[in-house]
Amino acid sequence: MALIQCRDLSLAYDGRVVESGVSFSVPQGDYLCIVGENGSGKSTLMKALLGLIRPAGGSITFGEGLHQTEIGYLPQQTQIQRDFPASCFEVVLSGRLNRRKGRFFYHKADRDAARRTMDTLGIGDLARRCYHDLSGGQQQRVLLARALCATQKLLLLDEPVAGLDPVVTQELYALIRRLNDEGLTVIMVSHDMTAVAEDAKHVLHLAHKPLFYGNTFDYLHSGVGRRFTGRDGNALF
Amino acid sequence: MRFSDMFASPLLMQIVLRAMVVGVLVSLCCALLGVNLVLRRFSMIGDGLSHVGFGAIALAAVCGLSQWELEFTLPVVIVAAVLILRMSERSHTQGDAAIALLATGAVAVGSLLYNYSPQRNADICNSLFGSASVLTLTDKDLILSLVLSAVVLALFVLCYHKLFAITFDEVFARATGVHTQAYKTLLAILTAVTIVLGMKLMGAIMISGLVVFPAMSAMRLCKSFRGVVLCSGGLAVVCFVAGFFTACRLSWQTGPTVIAVHTLVFVLVSAGSALAASRLLRRKKV
Ligand SMILES: Nc1ncnc2c1ncn2[C@@H]1O[C@H](COP(=O)(O)OP(=O)(O)O)[C@@H](O)[C@H]1O
Ligand SMILES: [Mg+2]
């Protein structure tokens, strides 16, 4: 049984269909990259997986004991307020919100988990710093830590490296790769084809409908993949 | 009335005390809700609602419902608050414009209605800038403000972490299973009640200052959400008490005096934090 199984999914805003016929399944430990042009419905698909919008058709099924509210989500940058007065620790801790069913306050375990996650991501010393004083790369790490606090199984990353410099981008990819190696399932929206080629196990190419779904090697050698990457797929291996 | 006279008679003292308790509680509620509103870029909601309240009070006065003013105004403003929330959800620009429409529309109708009131100018002046005397506050106001502040405080203590998540990143909060819509509606309703309660004392034009000033000053002083919330509440209480006594002493209107104190604090705090920032910058360069 897969973690997530989408069957013939179609998604719409106010009756206007954004994408349709989307079918794929995400087994445990997978690293799925979702690619496609701007406006092709990648973020919309993420929102549907999170239950933020209701599918207009088809179905999303969760397996392996995964609950929809237990997905770690790193939103696309545009949605977050950059000048919010919050300490990094407060932001990371808010990821534990979904574990507090019926409780008003956090336990010590929640605080410890938040602290541990920050240490793992190398941002332990930023805990007391103000979120909006950080660099873009540090902010993304804080949000990644928050996402990790919210899940033990599945990470959804929506263009996590947009606006970051190449060095920080590589560091973030390395971090995500490590998390995936440790058993976390990753679904990532990305425009960065190098990362797709190096890290992804499967690729879903969207253009209002799926143009390709399969493993990364096949994608890079497919017609769509070659056209989208703008280079010869063979050269990568 | 001289300042020392206020404490001479027990009756007068009781009235002044009642006004102060209502004012402190309303200030506290405004400040707490204000942190949330300002950070969600809804600063104008307080302003819009108070203008709707002005229209409603005018209507109540003309219909001869003056003693039922509170019962009449509350539902009107609550409906307006929920409407504004819904509209701004649908689109940001529309929500912004919706507040302006509701506000000016209500004030226009309200001031026309006052043409049918016997003491037109005094009434308009009172509802815009707050009552010149604190005598107009009733026990009903006191009880409602006690209940309201109990609800607001309970919400901020018990649901603090959810409020943080909703304010910081609503989409993420929703994804982790928080019923953001319910909380947002509750916040809008509480804001409406707070505004209506505070209007009598502070005036329709002044009340939104109580929502925005403490949060803005607190954001210049504190770097964490908890800090901003606590500081905002603290500033609101201190500024209200200072403004209230100044107003009594000099026989000024309460609303403008309290807001003047808030303005002063804001200017000082902004100057202070700008100075601190430039000093930090200089130290880094050296
Ligand atoms: N909240 C919304 N309401 C209406 N339409 C939307 C909304 N969000 C996105 N869309 C539309 O849906 C389409 C897909 O958007 P999105 O999923 O964000 O694309 P991507 O993330 O692939 O760039 C776009 O045409 C966009 O205009
Ligand atoms: Mg997107």
DSSP A91-144: HHHGGGGGG-TT-SS--HHHHHHHHHHHHHTT-GGGTTSBGGGS-HHHHHHHHH
Structure tokens at A147: 């996402």
Q: How far is B104 from chain A (nearest CA, A)?
A: 30
Nearest CA to ligand 1 atom 6: A13
| pLDDT one-digit tens code per residue, B136-157 | 788 888 898 999 999 999 999 9
Give the residue on A whose Cα is nearest the Cα of B158: A104
- Tens-digit pLDDT profile for residues B10-40: 887 888 888 899 999 999 999 999 999 999 8
Closest ligand 1 atom to residue A158 Cα is 21
Q: Which atom of ligand 1 is nearest to the CA of A206?
A: 22
Q: What is the pLDDT of residue A232?
A: 52
Query: Tell me, what amino acid is at B69?
Result: E
Give residue-wise pLDDT tens across range B220-272. 999 899 999 999 999 999 999 999 999 988 988 889 999 999 999 999 999 99
Per-domain residue ranges for chain B?
A: 3-285
Distance A36 CA to ligand 2 centre (A): 10
In this prediction, residue A82 carries a pLDDT of 66
Q: Is B171–A90 a contact, with Cβ atoms under 8 angstroms apart?
A: no
Nearest residue (CA) to ligand 1, atom 8: A44
CA B99 – CA B208 distance, rounded (Å)? 13
Residue B92: both structure tokens together: 């940001």
Is the CB of residue B224 less than 8 Å from the CB of residue B11? no
Length of chain B, please?
286
Beta strands across the sheet bearing A71-74: A71-74, A154-158, A185-189, A31-35, A202-206, A210-215
**Residue among B47, B10, B31 at smallest CA distance from B210:** B31
Q: From the alpha carbon of A46, which atom of ligand 1 is closest?
A: 17
With cut-offs at 50, 70 and 90, classify the pLDDT of residue B44: confident
Residue pairs spanning A and B at CB distance below 8 A: 80
Contact A119, B253 (CB under 8 A): no
Rounded distance from Cα B210 to ligand 2 centre (Å):
38
Task: For residue B173, report the distance from its CA to the centre of ligand 1, in Å.
Answer: 20
* More confident site: B284 or A144: A144
Query: Which backbone phi and psi does A225 adopt, to 5 degrees?
Result: -60, -45
Phi and psi, residue A40, nearest 5°: -85, -5
Distance CA A68, CA A86 (A): 27
Tell me phi and psi for residue B103, to 5 degrees: -65, -55
Strands A4-13 and A16-26: antiparallel
Q: Do A75 and B168 touch (CB under 8 A)?
A: no
Q: Determine what percent of chain B falls in helix, strand and coil, rounding each to the nearest 5.
A: 85, 0, 15
Structure tokens at A92: 């990371």
What was the pLDDT predicted at B4?
62
Q: Which residue has the higher pLDDT, A154 or B4?
A: A154
Q: B3-285: which CATH architecture?
A: Orthogonal Bundle (1.10)
pLDDT at B2 over 60: no
ipTM for this model: 0.90
| CB neighbour list of residue B283: distance below 8 Å, 6 or more residues apart | none
Closest by Cα among B183, B211, B184 to B195? B211
Q: What is the dihedral of CA A212, A215, A221, A224, to 10 degrees?
A: 20
What does the alpha-carbon distance between residue B190 and residue B2 come to, in Å, rounded to a whole number?
A: 36
The residue nearest atom 4 of ligand 1, judged by CA position, is: A13
> Minimum mean pLDDT among B55-64, B161-170, B259-268: which range?
B55-64
pLDDT < 70 stretches in chain A: 78-80, 82, 231-237
Ligand 1 centroid vs A205 CA: distance in angstroms? 16
Of A68, A97, A146, the CB nearest to B161: A97
* Beta strand A154-158 pairing with A185-189: parallel
Q: What pLDDT score does A200 carry? A: 93
What gap in Å lies between CA A210 and CA A118, rounded to an integer? 36
Q: Could you tell me the pLDDT band of residue B187, with boundaries at 50, 70 and 90?
A: very high
pLDDT tens-digit profile of B101-120?
Answer: 888 999 999 989 888 877 77
B69-101 confidence digits (pLDDT tens): 888 999 999 999 998 888 887 776 777 787 888
Q: Residue A113's pLDDT is what? A: 94
Measured by CA distance, the residue closest to atom 17 of ligand 1 is A41
CB contact under 8 A, A100 and B173: no
pTM comes to 0.90
Torsional class of B130: left (φ above 0), alpha (ψ -120 to 50), beta (otherwise): left
Residues having CB closer than 6 A to ligand 1 are A 13, 18, 36, 38-44
Question: How close is the nearest chain B Cα to the Cα of A51, in Å?
Answer: 7
For residues B180 and B229, the answer to whether their CB atoms sit within 8 Å is: no
Owner of token pair 């309970």: B154
CB-based contact, B228 to chain A, within 8 Å: yes
Q: What is the pLDDT of residue A233?
A: 43
Q: Which residues of B touch A50 (CB under 8 A)?
A: 174-175
Task: Determine the distance separating the centroid of ligand 2 and the alpha carbon of A45, expressed in angstroms.
Answer: 9
Rounded to whole angstroms, the Cα distance separating A119 from A198 reads: 26
